[in-house]
Amino acid sequence: MSAIQTWACFLLWIGFATQDKTPDVIVTCVISEECVLPCSFQPGSKETIEWLRQDVMVYKFEREDGDGGDGGDDDDGDSDDDSSEEEHFVNEQFAGRASVFPDLISRGNATLTIRRSGLKDRGTYKCHVHTSQGEHNAKVIVKVEAPIRGLSLELSRLSGYEEMKCTIRDVFPAPRVTWATEPPTFEDLRPVTRMLADKRGLYTVDSRLKRLNGQPDLIYICKVTTSYGGPAWTSSLRERAIRGAPGKDLTIPCSAPPYLNKPFLRWSFSNSKDPSHILTYDSRSGDSVSSPTWDNHVELDGFRVPFGDGSLRLMDPKPSEHTGSYTCVFSLPHNTHTERTDVTIDDPVGGRITPEEPSYWWVVGLVIALLVVALVGMLAYLKVKGGSSKPRNDPEEATELHLVKDSTADGNLKESLNESSPLTVGGTNGQSGLQTALS
């Protein structure tokens, strides 16, 4: 029984201790805007309101009610209410910026308003109210942020190679930047992110990702989140280049990532002249607005835009007018997707139209023909040179050779005759006859 009584007393004490205690309130304020710190209490009289930050007095309001009679008017029309109000600005940091609403105090509202809030206003605030009805205490935790107002993503070549550059300015606290591609790639993405704070404490974020080689049609996605749990921002970009022929219709592709549902579409064009607006299309309302100068040259299928296909058909293009950069942007709150297409409309040369892709086969053919001609010429030269380089004997040497050949022939003939003729068997008469015949 004693244990039960002990627990009952403990719970009763807890109830009395917390009956006038309100839970802590967390307020997130935006830099340079008003910050409202709520505090409510049981109305009474002779109110004294104190606001403290980190246990240091910030603002004090005090009201003392007079001893006026029944509140009726006297002869000069003045009220008999002799109440007086007095304010005290204790901390110079809040002078001219912090105040309560005196008219609301009698209704039990001691809300403190801080104008032009800044990062120095962060901290834990306590609201202490003393009235004829008792006391009231409340705690307010103030966070100050500079939310993301915009996110830009572009292709940069300033570093000597192509890289995607994602930029956020004037943000607090420091955000977290992540990168992705669509479709996903198996290569490791290694972005370089730099954050620089200015004298106000606001961050400028510069995150760069080198463009992957061999994958020209990738969508690069930059995503930024904050530690205060605000909405995440995403921006994505795809760059491409296509060629077309004069007078021949050309489709400029533009497709939104699947996470964009019924986005707003905007098309624009730029070349050496100022950028120009082509058209806009609202997927939710179906409204489309186009520039009169482009009405006869572009066509958009509005039924396909809500499903992420914002491709533009360019009709009867002309080289001088329609060669340039076409940009389509799908947008939703906190999300954008951009596709930038460099379009080249080729000029006709000699009544012929330059093919879409430059051909270099004629160079290869020319080189092969030159090699064949050189080879044939070399063979002919070697043949002529070989024929003319046969040894030519000296006339005297030729005569001597001729005499040697004749002598050899005569000797062979005589030897043959000696061996085979019957005249050689006889005596001297035969030999002399033979010699006579030979002579």
Residue ending a domain, choose from 295, 328, 356: 356
pLDDT at 240 over 80: yes
Same domain as 266, residue 211: no
Cβ–Cβ < 8 Å for 171, 146? yes
Query: Would residue 95 count as lying in a domain?
Result: yes
Point out the least confidently predicted range of 12-21, 137-146, 425-434. 425-434
Q: Considering the domain boundaries, does residue 410 fall inside one? A: no
Is residue 180 domain-shared with residue 201, that is, in the same domain?
Answer: yes
Answer for the pair 30, 145: CB distance below 8 angstroms, yes or no: yes
Between CA 168 and CA 150 the distance in angstroms is 7
Residue 11 pLDDT level (bands cut at 50, 70, 90)? very low
| Residue-level pLDDT at 330 | 95
Q: How large a percentage of the chain has pLDDT more than 90?
A: 46
d(CA 31, CA 116): 7
Cα angle 160-161-163, degrees, rounded to a multiple of 5? 125
Residue 8 or residue 46, greater confidence: 46
Residue 198 belongs to domain with CATH number = 2.60.40.10
Q: Is 170 in the same domain as 137?
A: no
In a domain, 411, yes or no: no
Average pLDDT along the chain: 79
Please give the share of the chain, as a percent, with pLDDT higher than 70: 74
Do residue 109 and residue 206 come from a single domain?
no
Quick one: pLDDT band at residue 93, thresholds 50, 70, 90? confident
In the structure encoding, which two tokens stand for residue 47, read together?
Answer: 């109110």
Question: Does residue 401 lie in a domain region?
Answer: no
Domain boundary residue among 145, 168, 186?
A: 145
pTM (2 d.p.): 0.66
Distance between CA atoms of 144 and 116, rounded to whole angstroms?
A: 11
pLDDT band of 313, cuts 50, 70, 90: very high
* pLDDT at 213 (0 to 100): 87
The strand pairing partners of 219, in sequence order, are 182
Residues 271, 311, single domain; the answer is yes
CA distance 141 to 27: 6
Is 334 a domain residue?
yes
Structural domain range at position 182: 146-231
Q: Which residue has the higher pLDDT, 186 or 388?
A: 186
In a domain, residue 416? The reply is: no
Q: pLDDT higher for 85 or 23?
A: 23
pLDDT category of residue 358 using cuts at 50, 70 and 90: low
Is 397 within the bounds of a domain? no
Spatial separation of the C-alpha atoms in residues 234 and 74, rounded to whole Å: 68
E-state strands within 283-409: 288-290, 298-300, 312-314, 324-332, 335-345, 348-349, 352-353
Q: Are residues 272 and 323 in the same domain?
A: yes
pLDDT band, very low/low/confident/very high, at 384 (cuts 50, 70, 90): confident
Indicate the pLDDT class of residue 349, thresholds 50, 70 and 90.
low
Whether 341 and 298 map to the same domain: the answer is yes
Domain boundary residue among 334, 356, 378? 356
Q: Give the model's pLDDT for residue 128.
A: 94
187, 155: one domain: yes
Asked if residue 325 belongs to a domain, the reply is: yes
In the chain, the number of structural domains is: 3
- If asked whether residues 32 and 111 sit together in one domain, one would say yes
Listed ranges 83-92, 155-164, 185-194, 377-386; the one with the highest mean pLDDT? 185-194
| Model confidence at 377: pLDDT above 90 | no
Q: 275 pLDDT exceeds 90?
A: no
Q: What is the mean pLDDT of residues 179-191?
A: 91
Three-state DSSP class for 169? strand
Question: 3-class SS at 13?
Answer: helix
Pair 124, 227 in one domain: no
- Regarding whether 128 and 198 lie in a shared domain, the answer is no
395-424 pLDDT, tens digit each: 444 444 444 445 444 544 344 434 444 333
Mean pLDDT of 177-187: 91
208, 158, 194, 339: CA torsion to nearest 10: -40
Bridge partners of residue 59, in order along the sequence: 51, 89
More confident residue, 23 or 69: 23
Cβ(52)–Cβ(125) under 8 Å?
yes
Asked if residue 153 and residue 122 are part of one domain, the reply reads no
pLDDT confidence band for 18 (50 / 70 / 90): very low
